[in-house]
Amino acid sequence: MGDQMTKDADEALVLVERQPEQRTALVRLNRPKQLNALNGPTMDALCAALEELDRDDAVRAMVVTGSDRAFAAGADIAEMAGASPIDMLRGNRIAQWDRVRRISKPVIAAVNGWCLGGGCELVMALDIVIAGEGAKFGQPEINIGVIPGAGGTQRLTRALGKSRAMEMILTGEPMAAGEALARGLVSRVVPDELVVEDALSLGAAIATKSPLALRLAKESVNAAYEMSLTDGLAHERRLFYLLFASEDQKEGMAAFLEKRTPDFTGR
């Protein structure tokens, strides 16, 4: 039994650990020898794990991490090297990055080591990025004769502005964690060995809030990337009004007035 569990854990492409008391879950990419290169099965396993946690009422926030040397060094180059455009179109692998983006609960990326190509695009599709001091972010596709394909040219440009994004994408040179923090690509930099712990404790703090409010807050912030200001403000206002139909709004405001801690149920 013990051996079987070890074998399964060794072979699983992602490992999921739940922290029931904190209402969080940790999802770990598990191809360390290949620097967590994101092949089809790994992305599928990641999407399936996140989607299952998204449906689970016992979980309110998630953390995605990789290993010490790499969060993920990009899409798996060996897997796509010989592909034709029609293979790429039929495989439609990039839809897996969209599946990640559609998770409704908050997902924090805890990044150590290399975070490149599709790995960088993955963390930019998540909600909050915490980096270790040694983390390096980049879009090196230009070095292998292609360009970012899962959002890099769009999201990195929104995060960094045109000039710095253009420099990174045209040279393929990575950016260190300190600069990523200064430019807003990540929200915190912590010592490497504390990245996962820090992300989980941030997840636990977020998990004390109303699940409904979290979901709509995430939806509304993401809408800021896709709508005009006028449309975004109208969208935000509708979501704000909608929350007054929730028990959590009544509970949150009553708890404030009664000077006690709210107990949010997600209803």
Give the nearer residue to ligand CO8 in terms of CB position, either 154 or 208.
154
Catalytic position from the list 74, 117, 118, 203: 118
Min dist CB 255 to ligand CO8, Å, is 45
Give the residue closest to ligand CO8 by C-beta. 117
Give the nearer residue to ligand CO8 in terms of CB position, either 94 or 190.
94
Catalytic position from the list 45, 72, 73, 121: 121
Give the nearer residue to ligand CO8 in terms of CB position, either 32 or 262.
32
Min dist CB 204 to ligand CO8, Å, is 31
DSSP the chain: -HHHHHHHHHH-SEEEEEETTTTEEEEEE--GGGTT-B-HHHHHHHHHHHHHHHH-TT--EEEEE--SSEEE-SB-HHHHTT--HHHHHHH-TTHHHHHHHT--S-EEEEE-SEEETHHHHHHHHSSEEEEETT-EEE-GGGGGT----SSHHHHHHHHH-HHHHHHHHHH---EEHHHHHHTTSSSEEE-GGGHHHHHHHHHHHHTTS-HHHHHHHHHHHHHTTTS-HHHHHHHHHHHHHHGGGSHHHHHHHHHHHTTS-------
Min dist CB 192 to ligand CO8, Å, is 16
Catalytic position from the list 61, 72, 75, 135: 75
Catalytic position from the list 25, 45, 141, 236: 141
Give the nearer residue to ligand CO8 in terms of CB position, either 170 or 221.
170
Query: Is 179 annotated in the active site?
Result: no
Residues of the shown chain interacting with ligand CO8 in the complex, contacts defined by CB under 6 A: 34-35, 37, 73-78, 80, 93-94, 114, 116-118, 140-141, 143-144, 149-150
Min dist CB 114 to ligand CO8, Å, is 4
Query: Is 75 annotated in the active site?
Result: yes
Instruction: Give me the amino acid identity at 90.
Output: R
Q: Which residues are catalytic?
A: 75, 118, 121, 141
